[in-house]
């Protein structure tokens, strides 16, 4: 199910911060109550390989997201305790020490299941035992959601496990959507802040294509 153009699911999820506090976090309410955009990125597992590179990359760009009135939230299906252990593991040991944004601990998989981003396939039901078995690790793909100040999703994307994300692309997408919100124009292919946008009509596209 695609969530672009729809409100993000209204669910409370356990979360952990760098201070070791476990608390409930509702991504939709974070956007609406704070009047901010939200970037939520999911990764498969703590203490793995590509994952820490992404968490550090989002941390390094955190000030750029903050300039754009955007909250960053990480997420996986690990428990809060595992998150805290990883947050206390140094970078040179594969840890994420220094990450300051909250990380969802969707260990019951309520939110990731609602989003449909779990790595599961070939569910099998045994009628004799009543047991359901699945193939896959039952962890999330590298899914990313951008939502506006009302909690409406304006971007979603899913990478397979081995492929890390480009953080700069999410900054570009936020810039583009903010331009649309402010100016009522639409942003063409490869648009970046400072480049020409165009009117959403036939004359607008004709004028843009003629000069580009």
Which residues are known to be catalytic? 51
What is the 3 state secondary structure string of the chain? CCCECCECCCCEEEEECCCCCEEEEEHHHHHHHHCCEEEEEECCCCCCCHHHHHHHHHHHCHHHHHHCCEEEEEEECCCHHHHHHHHCCCHHHCCCCCCCCCEEECCCCHHHHHHCCECCEEEEEECCCCEEEEECCCCECEEEEEECCCCEEEEEEEECCCCCCCHHHHHHHHHHHHHHHHHCCECCCCCCCCCCCECCCHHHHHHHHHHC
């Amino acid at each position: 199910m695609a969530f672009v153009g729809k409100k993000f699911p209204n669910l409370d999820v356990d979360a952990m911060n760098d201070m070791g506090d476990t608390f409930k976090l509702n991504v939709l309410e974070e956007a609406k109550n704070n009047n901010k955009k939200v970037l939520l990125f999911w990764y498969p597992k703590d203490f793995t390989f590509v994952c820490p590179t992404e968490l550090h990359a989002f941390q390094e760009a955190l000030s750029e997201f903050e300039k754009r009135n955007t909250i960053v939230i990480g997420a996986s299906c690990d428990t809060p305790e595992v998150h805290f252990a990883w947050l206390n593991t140094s970078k040179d040991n594969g840890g994420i020490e220094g990450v300051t944004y909250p990380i969802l601990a969707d260990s019951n998989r309520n939110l990731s299941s609602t989003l449909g981003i779990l790595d599961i396939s070939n569910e099998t039901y045994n009628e004799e035992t009543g047991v359901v078995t699945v193939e896959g690790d039952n962890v999330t793909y590298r899914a990313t959601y951008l939502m506006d100040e009302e909690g409406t999703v304006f971007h979603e994307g899913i990478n397979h496990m081995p492929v890390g994300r480009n953080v700069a692309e999410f900054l570009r997408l936020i810039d583009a959507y903010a331009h649309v919100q402010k100016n009522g124009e639409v942003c063409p292919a490869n648009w970046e802040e400072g480049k020409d946008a165009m009117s959403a009509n036939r004359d607008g596209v004709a004028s843009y294509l003629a000069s580009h």
